[in-house]
Structure 1
């Protein structure tokens, strides 16, 4: 400042305070001056006055940012509303000239306008939308600071907002090519599919490793960055696994890591690599005889795990198989069944079928003639039933039984066979006639006709027995035998038995053995004969004793030695008598024993008158 004195008169001067330089309120807002006035006296006197000059503000300063460029970083996972930064601008002016408003402009990319907002009064930058590193990784924009002066002044700063990557993207797997179905005979290394794998994240978050899950015959091979091939690592078997559902999994290197997956369906096409297989190598079939032609005996099934024509099976009886064909009369037959599929080339499998024919009761019992050839009609032997009449059928059978024969003595034996087997051939014998309590009975399973009690004269001279032979089949079949038993004296029965035995012996070089029942009957007969012989001897002794006392001398009735009667039986016993006459002792049971009468070579008695007059008789074979 300076003073400019203006004279108004000679005594008064008016000082003017003149601004010599421009003011700067921002530098010195108030100027304090002291104005001194001095008179011209001696001593001069002075007067002072303080001047306070306030500099009024003028909008001569634009707002200024504390830095021209703001470089910011924010993770892409930052939430909406997050305070990104606060910009600061100052204006040395005062009043409205220093009031600053902030505005964000010039966004690159333009989408940043929707993501970033700034408070016009405070300069705080906030996040108004979610960030996505994969979409925009850097936002560039300018912030303008403008005061409220007239005219308003403004300034600008630049902001660079870098979006930091967060592992928020899982790897993605895409199938770009797929070659299915895969034949089950495909070689190892066959490419099944081509895949592409990517991760939008960066760095470790975008580094991906891949594998196949679950464990399968397939694996991955990297072809180039982000591309893989799904290849066959092991041989396939469609019959074991016809289709594979695999996942190609990818995992990035983020923390925490994220995974991606893609399912791949790989069907396996069939190849005719399996022959039909029967459940059993050998089938045993039980079939009833007399089956009608075309009747089903069994059902065989061969499994071929292949599909379509490869698994379609046809069956045939293999002529070259075991068994050599069907034998209708046989109870067993074996053959092979061949199963052939319709594949190319066709495959086959074989199974052996063993057929056992089950018996049906289709045969009635057949009566057998007695052992050996039949004798002349009307002649029979005790213990065997003989047929009278011609032809192959059974006529009336004849047998003899002695009066007084004890209970249980075997008179005859009915023999029959059944061509069936098992229960169907198990025969039982039943006495059909006469009904009630007759003198005879039949062994249920032996066929032996024996006395049920001691035979009496009241039983008559002849008994007609009708015997039914039945099997155990369902329904049962039967045959009927008629047996005529003549009741005679013991001697006659013995003679008939001896004649039958002699006749049987002359027709066979080997003697016919008696059965157990006949041996028992012979023993019983010999017991009766022995009792009779003892009684006869006792009676003869009494007679001889009386004759010797009352007569001078009895005539000699025999040769020089005592005649001996020897009887041979199957039980091996020997009996002899000292009677002075030849007698015949035979069994009236089974007539299969040979009877011979001979004079044994016993020591001769002392010579006497009787011995001198008599001549020894040669041994003789007696036939009756």
Structure 2
């Protein structure tokens, strides 16, 4: 079906972008195939081009190619049909060893436009490896007098496959003397043993040859076999025997080198050389490069050679042989299990992850500051870690999960009291003696503008002379803010306030830009001015007032009624026509009744100069 296209160049570009985007999304996926190992050349694996959404015709023009890590020739793509096939032999054991998972990663690249695809090819295990014995023949020496039900361990086989293909079973050739017993070890592996069912007679049968066959669990099963040559021993018919077949010893890790592990003792019922015993270690499991064990062949004493480390191995199994010196010799067997006990030899580790620093001083209680994790390589109580923080700080640790903690705010902060806290997180394990580790956490407190500026004192009293030129220095004030940085910077502004002075119903005003101290004034000066003013009214009234004043002011003042201080007068008018006098807490004689305080008077400054008006020391007689 063909659709007509009427769009312009812009629409074409939009369609091309959408197609490229869809192609890019298609190329971002991953295709998964699987193939069995040992598949023949040309074996079909998958339709790669079709599964990747690529057209067959564009494989060659777009430079279709496949890259592989490691062996790049194992798989190949047919560019004619886009099929992925086996190109060369795939050996899973060679490719991945005994790993449970094995796959080949392919990177598919096409150009114009560039696209990259990822293809994963799983290599399935097949039962292509038979069980293998280390040697083609095993020799077993057995005394003709060996008791019935005696056990004689044999060396087992191994299988390079994995899973069920590596599970082994054993089968013994038919004979009348021995049966086969399979013992399962701690690591789930099996060990074949010969069990004597019929007494041996060297004179009748000096040796036996048996065939031991190992079978794996694959379908079809594969087998491997080994010849068991049994030599019947004469004369020395008693093998050394240990007190018990197994021993268990516990040692602390980090014991000094050459520490004694155990003293073994085996006995032999024979006489002479046939009862003299030599001890040897047959096998140590697991194999360790740090720790070995040595045995004294004469005494059977086992000692540590190297270093026991609980964190590496918590136990060792030592298989010991006791071989007598008869001809031929006989051997007895035992197992020593060495349990390694943990010591508190690893200190805790502390890791601190900061989340929100600095912390605002107005942060809410419970705010998370940092995350802390602790760990210890030891086990049991030695690996149990408790965490604490420096006392007497406004922070605490809250356990979140196992060995994870949160450092949270426990009480309110004040940047003005403490702008930084140096905390120490202490991690201590439960060992005896315990080990500890510390981590330092520096918590900076961010300032918040929560303090207003404050002056050194709430009120200042300043005396200023009149007619000062503009810009002259009058007084210096300073204020301080308890906050920090920008919050502590103080700017000043002057708020104008005027004082009203009342005289004849009109109030001259003084600016509060200059603080005028309240000077104590002399009531006597006020009385003088009043007398002069009234003289023009009536001489009789003048005489009466003068007599009254003389009588009252000449009388001795009662205690507590008149103050001893001298009155002062301050002239503060800007036009030199008024003077202002105020007396506070100054006792003045003013006739009968209690002393008068807080008196104000205004008088013209007629004959006195400005300095005389401002001189507070001028005296006026009562």
**Shorter-chain TM band:** 0.3 to 0.5
Q: TM-score, normalised by structure 1?
A: 0.41
Tell me which structure has the larger Cα radius of gyration. Answer: 1
